[in-house]
Chain A
Amino acid sequence: MADPLLRVQHLVRRFGGITATDNLSLDVMPGELHAIIGPNGAGKTTLISQLTGQLMPNSGAIHFAGRDVTRQPAYKRSRLGLARSFQITSLLPDFSAIDNVALAAQAHDGHSFRFWGSARKEKHLRDAARSALKRVGLEARAEVPVLELSHGEQRELELAVALATKPQLLLLDEPMAGLGVTESARMVGLLKELRKEVTIVLVEHDMEAVFALADRITVLVYGRVIACDSPDAIRNNEEVKRAYLGDQHVVVGHV
């Protein structure tokens, strides 16, 4: 069996008296789409933030692509090929869509201590940005300021920004949050395409999407992993049903 791309070992993060991440261990294999589900407050976003370096764990270790990145700041992890999208859309609001993506491409194209030439005229950055926008279906909206994009488009732009950093691992924090039915379906279609190329960790509330996409599912409750298995096994796991899925008949009914 291949080495995991991402290995999380005994991760602990406390906020005051609350243990948001409680001795959590997790392996993400190269090429898989690994979903993380759990009720509200299970510590999913806290986990993602520790994986990307926005938040430092109290103890435990995170290895990415064979390297210990536990104490590395976010920008360094990004350079190693770890990209994230944010649950609450986090873009550069006063820039256009293409600027947002081009900056992500620029971040991975040498240093940016270049003071003279116009960044917007660097063709390879613009081209890279345009192709990332095209992947998520936003090429027609390239010049539109982020503030004027719809919520759904902003979610797609989040994805384009992450893609432009050429990641090995994509951490998606609720990419469907707030999307309508058709927009959700489009996002699922998009993720189905992306998963062919890049390893994905998907945190999502939309169970239909999760069970349609995931190779493996980890279930988090109170910061602890209560199960980690294939979608079918998760669906039939008694503990998971009790803790989490009990009232979500949709999931049980869905095949």
Chain B
Amino acid sequence: MTSALNARNIVAAIAAAGLLLLPLYSALSGNIFILTLFTRIVIFALAAASLNLMMGYGGMMSFGHAAYLGIGGYAVGILAAEGIGSGFIQWPVALIVSALFALVIGALSLRTRGVYFIMITLAFAQMAYYIASGMSRYGGDDGLTIYKRSDFGGLINLSNRVQFYYLCLGCLFGGLYLIWRIVNSRFGMVVRGVRSNEQRMQAIGFHANRYRLVCFVIAGTICGLAGALLANNTDFVSPAVMYWTRSGDLMVMVILGGMGSLFGPVIGAIVYLVLEELLSRFTEYWALIMGPLLLLIVLFARGGIMGLLGRMRRG
């Protein structure tokens, strides 16, 4: 980590450059599909990065992180359905509602540790799922179609593929920068310290749970932003985005890319979603291949892909 020029940073830089130049490639090759795919990837990368803040740096294994994707999405969808199309209203509402939800869930969940924490976050996300399913006014089980994407006046046109892609990418890079600053700040040091040895942190004078809770809320809020983006991307939001398998997908992206590595979740999201795309072309049982692959990563590359690259450097 001391030298800037190691395998990890090189891979991260190449991936970042690739993401930046992707619309150019898409335009030159006429491959529109790849832009659609990568818009999705970038959004999930942001969600995974927020989970990484909590899981990788904070040591909080949330199995309900997809709830915030849904909450952010529904905030946009419901406001749109009620005739409020301005993104200047929709997005702040999405963030605030996600933060409040995280505050309540976090305050209750953080009374527990380990498996119980995983279970209680899962339970809350499933509750959100069933509540969304029950909202018959907003499509219930079938979900809610969003007829018009968030309107930011003349500032940016979300219906333009390239503009929307760059908006998502801007949110991702902005989110990563924010997380990087947080992780190295006083606050971040405390949260990472608590992950490392909670008893020790209490003994030197930190009220561990207070810091954990704030970290939980920040992570939930960032994921809510990803939810708002996702709803705009699909022009649709349904309870399915909150289902526990979605939370599992996010976890897999984080673990695959490398927990506690800033850029890991981005790599994880790219690898996971591209593989899913490619494998599902060959067989509908693509999970049959993805599963063992994951096992291999977990067994032999602790620290995920980024961890593997880190070890390569040391030889």
Question: A residues bordering B, Cβ < 8 Å?
Answer: 52-54, 73-75, 78-79, 83-84, 86, 90-95, 99, 102-104, 106-108, 112-120, 122, 161, 164-165
Contacts and interface: CB of A to CB of B under 8 A. Distances in A.
Contact of A79 (B185, B186, B205, B214): B205
A115 B177 CA distance: 12
A90 B200 contact: yes
A102 B192 CA distance: 14
Interface in B130-169: none
A11 B208 CA distance: 27
A95 B196 contact: yes
B188 interface: yes
A78 B205 contact: yes
B304 to A, nearest CB: 16
Interface of B: 181-182, 184-190, 192-193, 196-197, 199-208, 211, 214
Nearest to B189: A119
Query: Which of B189, B196, B202 has the most chain A CB within a 10 Å cutoff?
Result: B189
B189 A113 contact: no
B184 A112 contact: no
A91 B204 CA distance: 11
A84 B197 CA distance: 15
A78 B203 contact: yes
B186 A114 contact: yes
B58 to A, nearest CB: 13
Contacts of A106: 186, 189-190
Contacts of A116: 181-182, 185
Given A113-B214, A116-B181, A103 B204 contact: yes
Given A75-B206, A114-B187, 13 more contacts: A52-B203, A54-B199, A54-B202, A74-B203, A78-B204, A106-B186, A107-B204, A112-B189, A112-B190, A113-B187, A114-B186, A116-B181, A118-B184
Contacts of B211: 112-113
B203 A54 contact: yes
A95 B201 CA distance: 13
A197 B243 CA distance: 59
A191 to B, nearest CB: 19
A79 B202 CA distance: 10
Contacts of A86: 200, 203
B222 to A, nearest CB: 13
Nearest to A54: B199
Contact of A165 (B181, B193, B204, B214): B204
Contact of B197 (A73, A75, A93): A93
Nearest to A95: B196
Nearest to B185: A115
B196 A93 contact: yes
A104 B193 CA distance: 10
B196 A92 contact: yes
Nearest to B180: A118
Contact of A103 (B181, B189, B208, B214): B189
A112 B196 contact: no
Contacts of A118: 181, 184-185
Given A103-B193, A104-B204, A112-B206, A119 B185 contact: yes
A82 B189 CA distance: 22
A118 B189 CA distance: 9
Contacts of A83: 203-204
Nearest to A108: B205
Given A92-B197, A93-B197, A74 B202 contact: yes
Contact of B203 (A84, A122, A164): A84
A118 B199 CA distance: 24
B186 A119 contact: yes
8 contacts: A53-B202, A54-B203, A103-B193, A107-B204, A113-B214, A114-B186, A119-B189, A165-B205
Given A90-B197, A92-B197, A93-B197, A114 B203 contact: no
A102 B193 CA distance: 11
B197 A122 contact: no
Nearest to B194: A92
Closest 10 CB pairs of A and B: A78-B205, A107-B205, A92-B196, A74-B202, A112-B186, A114-B186, A104-B204, A119-B186, A119-B189, A118-B184
